[in-house]
Amino acid sequence: MTRLDVIGNVSRDVTRYPDDRGGVRLGGAALFVALAAARAGRPAAPVCVLGEDLAHVPQARGLDAIDWSACGEAEGTSTRFDLRYDRLGELIDVRTDYGVAERLTDHVLAHVERHPDGQYHVCCRRPLDAAVVLHRLVHHGATFSVDFFLPSAEEMLPAATPWLSRVSTVFVNAAEYRLLQSITDTTALPEVVVTDGPRAARVWAFGRQTASVIPPTRTPREVSGAGDTLAGTFLAHRSRGATPAQALAEGVEAAARFVAAPSIPIPAQRRA
């Protein structure tokens, strides 16, 4: 099975909720998408840049399902996110230090040149220059999907729009979907997966709804990364020939398990 190369960040996260949930944990869209795809049976590799503080992560127990060969390293600190949520799990504030991920675009372009026939998922989030990366993927005729992050969607969605008709699957939440509809003709898009928190997730193909799944009720411990988990799981099942409805059901269930499970701790560095 062709490996899924996931372009994005692996980060050190702090999540905060009004009821004292949250804390320090390993995060980043590239990690969550790749890990979900691998757990669903598809080889996956984060295409990311790690700083010295997370350079040991690829050797951590429990993360060896991922292929880390596309990961770059640089002197300095890895991306850090401080994410604050309300009681309903809606993101209300994010503070970011991108650290060595400022080099992500150059790292990605070099990787794509070495693997022009790869299959990619692009996490369209700062500091990635999504327009440059998507243009390069289209130039090589690569197969790729994309997702977005609401705090940067107003910037990233318009930047990505010229290439969206070439995307295999677009992943957005309900607010991002409304923004997408305001700037492009969504009936021209082959496949759009729309999540909406505890409400039904849906798949649209050229403007026609092809699947709808209501998430199971689970008491959430952590919501950050749930959409990435759905995306990675969905892509893994679609790559094996699952219908949109089957893949969405698997993705929704995986996301529900994710929010109820303990977070991934930042592994301790091994002593020399």
Mean pLDDT of 13-21: 89
Classify strands 192-196 and 199-205 as parallel, antiparallel or unpaired. antiparallel
Instruction: Tell me which amino acid residue 88 is.
Output: L
- Per-residue pLDDT at 20 exceeds 90: no
Mean pLDDT confidence for 155-182: 96
Confidence (pLDDT) at 271: 57
In 3D space, the residue among 7, 5, 17 whose CA is nearest the CA of residue 259 turns out to be: 17
pLDDT (0 to 100) of residue 192? 98
102-119, pLDDT tens digit by residue? 999 999 999 999 999 999
Confidence of residue 91 (pLDDT cuts 50, 70, 90): confident
pLDDT score for 205:
97
CA distance 167 to 161: 10
**Domain 4-260: assigned CATH number:** 3.40.1190.20
At residue 68, does pLDDT exceed 80?
yes
pLDDT surpasses 80 at 88: no
Instruction: Tell me the pLDDT band of 270, cut-offs 50, 70 and 90.
Output: low
Contact 36, 78 (CB under 8 A): no
- Is 32 within 8 Å of 228 (Cβ atoms)? yes
User: What is residue 245's predicted lDDT score, i.e. its pLDDT?
Assistant: 98
Predicted confidence band of residue 22 (pLDDT cuts 50, 70, 90): confident
pLDDT above 90 covers a percentage of the chain that reads 83
**What does the pLDDT read at residue 118?**
95
**Contact, 172 vs 196, CB < 8 A?**
no
- pLDDT of 50 strictly over 70: yes
How do residues 136-152 score in pLDDT, each as one tens digit? 999 999 999 999 998 89
pLDDT bracket for residue 122 (50, 70, 90): very high
pLDDT score for 175: 95
Contacts of 108 (CB under 8 A, 6+ apart): 7, 47, 128, 133
Q: What's the pLDDT score for residue 128?
A: 97
How far apart are alpha carbons 133 and 156 in whole angstroms? 12
